[in-house]
Protein backbone atom coordinates (compact mmCIF):
# COMPACT_ATOMS: atom_id res chain seq x y z
CA UNK A 1 0.00 0.00 0.00
CA UNK A 2 1.11 3.55 -0.80
CA UNK A 3 0.05 6.65 1.12
CA UNK A 4 -0.04 10.05 -0.60
CA UNK A 5 -0.59 12.98 1.75
CA UNK A 6 -1.41 16.48 0.62
CA UNK A 7 -0.60 19.15 3.18
CA UNK A 8 -2.83 22.11 3.90
CA UNK A 9 -5.07 23.71 6.49
CA UNK A 10 -8.69 22.62 6.90
CA UNK A 11 -11.67 24.87 6.32
CA UNK A 12 -13.10 27.15 3.67
CA UNK A 13 -11.02 30.09 4.91
CA UNK A 14 -7.80 28.39 3.76
CA UNK A 15 -8.86 26.42 0.69
CA UNK A 16 -7.36 28.79 -1.92
CA UNK A 17 -4.17 29.60 0.01
CA UNK A 18 -0.74 28.85 -1.39
CA UNK A 19 -0.07 26.77 1.73
CA UNK A 20 -2.90 24.45 0.64
CA UNK A 21 -1.40 23.43 -2.68
CA UNK A 22 -1.09 19.85 -1.35
CA UNK A 23 -4.87 19.71 -0.77
CA UNK A 24 -5.55 21.33 -4.16
CA UNK A 25 -3.45 18.78 -6.02
CA UNK A 26 -5.00 15.81 -4.21
CA UNK A 27 -8.51 17.18 -4.79
CA UNK A 28 -7.76 17.41 -8.49
CA UNK A 29 -6.31 13.91 -8.55
CA UNK A 30 -9.35 12.51 -6.72
CA UNK A 31 -11.71 14.25 -9.18
CA UNK A 32 -9.79 12.87 -12.16
CA UNK A 33 -10.08 9.34 -10.73
CA UNK A 34 -13.74 9.75 -9.69
CA UNK A 35 -12.87 9.26 -6.01
CA UNK A 36 -14.89 10.45 -3.03
CA UNK A 37 -13.39 11.81 0.17
CA UNK A 38 -14.47 10.28 3.47
CA UNK A 39 -13.71 11.80 6.86
CA UNK A 40 -11.88 9.17 8.91
CA UNK A 41 -12.15 10.44 12.48
CA UNK A 42 -9.62 7.94 13.84
CA UNK A 43 -6.99 9.62 11.63
CA UNK A 44 -8.45 13.15 11.77
CA UNK A 45 -8.14 13.20 7.98
CA UNK A 46 -10.09 12.95 4.76
CA UNK A 47 -9.19 9.77 2.90
CA UNK A 48 -9.86 8.57 -0.62
CA UNK A 49 -8.83 5.11 -1.84
CA UNK A 50 -7.62 4.27 -5.34
CA UNK A 51 -6.59 0.62 -5.73
CA UNK A 52 -3.66 0.14 -3.31
CA UNK A 53 -3.12 3.88 -2.74
CA UNK A 54 -4.66 6.08 -0.07
CA UNK A 55 -4.93 9.80 -0.71
CA UNK A 56 -4.95 11.70 2.59
CA UNK A 57 -5.73 15.29 3.62
CA UNK A 58 -4.95 15.75 7.35
CA UNK A 59 -7.41 17.97 9.20
CA UNK A 60 -4.99 18.80 12.03
CA UNK A 61 -3.74 22.06 10.52
CA UNK A 62 -0.38 22.17 8.80
CA UNK A 63 1.91 22.33 11.81
CA UNK A 64 0.43 19.15 13.33
CA UNK A 65 0.23 17.07 10.15
CA UNK A 66 2.43 14.38 11.68
CA UNK A 67 -0.40 13.33 14.01
CA UNK A 68 -2.63 12.18 11.15
CA UNK A 69 0.20 10.82 9.03
CA UNK A 70 1.66 8.67 11.83
CA UNK A 71 -1.81 7.37 12.79
CA UNK A 72 -2.48 6.21 9.22
CA UNK A 73 0.93 4.63 8.71
CA UNK A 74 0.68 2.81 12.05
CA UNK A 75 -2.89 1.62 11.44
CA UNK A 76 -2.13 0.21 7.98
CA UNK A 77 1.39 -0.89 8.96
CA UNK A 78 2.92 1.04 6.07
CA UNK A 79 6.63 1.88 6.07
CA UNK A 80 7.67 5.52 5.75
CA UNK A 81 9.37 4.63 2.44
CA UNK A 82 5.86 4.13 0.98
CA UNK A 83 4.76 7.63 1.98
CA UNK A 84 4.68 10.59 -0.40
CA UNK A 85 3.95 14.06 0.98
CA UNK A 86 2.84 16.83 -1.41
CA UNK A 87 3.44 20.35 -0.08
CA UNK A 88 4.16 23.98 -0.88
CA UNK A 89 7.67 25.33 -1.22
CA UNK A 90 8.77 28.98 -1.27
CA UNK A 91 12.20 28.11 -2.67
CA UNK A 92 10.86 26.89 -6.02
CA UNK A 93 9.39 29.01 -8.82
CA UNK A 94 5.60 28.90 -9.16
CA UNK A 95 4.44 25.34 -9.91
CA UNK A 96 7.92 23.93 -10.40
CA UNK A 97 7.93 20.41 -8.98
CA UNK A 98 10.80 18.72 -7.21
CA UNK A 99 10.57 15.13 -5.98
CA UNK A 100 13.01 14.10 -3.24
CA UNK A 101 13.57 11.23 -0.85
CA UNK A 102 15.00 11.35 2.66
CA UNK A 103 15.69 15.07 2.96
CA UNK A 104 15.14 17.41 5.89
CA UNK A 105 12.24 19.78 6.46
CA UNK A 106 14.03 22.93 5.21
CA UNK A 107 11.90 25.01 7.60
CA UNK A 108 8.52 23.61 6.51
CA UNK A 109 6.58 23.08 9.75
CA UNK A 110 4.23 20.45 8.32
CA UNK A 111 7.22 18.35 7.24
CA UNK A 112 8.89 18.96 10.61
CA UNK A 113 5.78 17.58 12.31
CA UNK A 114 5.79 14.47 10.12
CA UNK A 115 9.50 13.82 10.66
CA UNK A 116 9.04 14.32 14.41
CA UNK A 117 6.10 11.89 14.68
CA UNK A 118 7.58 9.25 12.36
CA UNK A 119 11.09 9.54 13.77
CA UNK A 120 12.52 9.47 10.24
CA UNK A 121 12.90 11.61 7.16
CA UNK A 122 13.05 8.56 4.90
CA UNK A 123 9.93 9.27 2.86
CA UNK A 124 9.14 10.94 -0.48
CA UNK A 125 8.41 14.62 -0.77
CA UNK A 126 6.84 16.34 -3.75
CA UNK A 127 7.70 20.00 -3.34
CA UNK A 128 5.55 22.39 -5.35
CA UNK A 129 6.75 25.93 -5.90
CA UNK A 130 4.30 28.63 -4.82
CA UNK A 131 6.47 31.63 -5.72
CA UNK A 132 8.19 34.12 -3.44
CA UNK A 133 6.87 37.01 -1.35
CA UNK A 134 7.04 40.43 -2.95
CA UNK A 135 7.16 43.99 -1.63
CA UNK A 136 8.47 42.97 1.80
CA UNK A 137 5.60 40.58 2.55
CA UNK A 138 6.55 38.00 5.20
CA UNK A 139 6.81 34.37 4.11
CA UNK A 140 4.04 33.46 6.58
CA UNK A 141 1.65 36.04 5.14
CA UNK A 142 2.56 35.04 1.60
CA UNK A 143 1.81 31.31 1.99
CA UNK A 144 -1.47 32.23 3.71
CA UNK A 145 -2.50 34.40 0.75
CA UNK A 146 -4.85 33.16 -1.98
CA UNK A 147 -3.76 31.98 -5.39
CA UNK A 148 -5.23 34.04 -8.22
CA UNK A 149 -7.93 32.36 -10.31
CA UNK A 150 -5.43 31.60 -13.07
CA UNK A 151 -2.95 30.19 -10.56
CA UNK A 152 -5.65 27.93 -9.07
CA UNK A 153 -6.18 26.41 -12.50
CA UNK A 154 -2.43 25.80 -12.71
CA UNK A 155 -2.41 24.08 -9.32
CA UNK A 156 -5.21 21.74 -10.39
CA UNK A 157 -3.29 20.79 -13.55
CA UNK A 158 -0.32 19.63 -11.46
CA UNK A 159 -1.99 16.39 -10.32
CA UNK A 160 -1.14 14.74 -13.62
CA UNK A 161 2.56 15.17 -12.89
CA UNK A 162 2.55 14.03 -9.25
CA UNK A 163 2.12 10.26 -9.35
pLDDT in tens, 92-130: 999 999 999 999 999 999 999 999 999 999 999 999 999
Q: Can you tell me the distance from the alpha carbon of 146 to that of 61, in angstroms, rounded to the nearest whole number? A: 17
As a whole number, the mean pLDDT across the chain is 93
Query: Band of the pLDDT at 76, cuts 50, 70, 90?
Result: very high
pLDDT for 86 equals 96
Residues recognised as catalytic = 19
Strand partners for 97: 128
This prediction's pTM: 0.94
Q: Is residue 156 pLDDT above 80, yes or no?
A: no
**Residues 25-45: tens digit of each pLDDT:** 999 999 988 999 999 999 999
The three-state secondary structure class of 151 is: helix
pLDDT of residue 160: 55
Q: Are 121 and 115 a contacting pair, CB within 8 Å?
A: yes
86: three-class secondary structure by DSSP: strand
Distance CA 89, CA 19 (A): 8
Selected from 3.90.320.10, 3.40.50.1470, 3.40.50.10420, 3.30.1280.10, the CATH number assigned to the domain covering 2-162 reads: 3.40.50.1470
The answer on pLDDT for 161 being more than 80 is no
Amino acid sequence: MKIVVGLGNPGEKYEKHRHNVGFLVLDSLARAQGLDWKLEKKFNAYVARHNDTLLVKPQTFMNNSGESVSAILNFYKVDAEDLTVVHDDLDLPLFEIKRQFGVGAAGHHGIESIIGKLGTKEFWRVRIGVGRPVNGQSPEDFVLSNFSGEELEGASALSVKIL
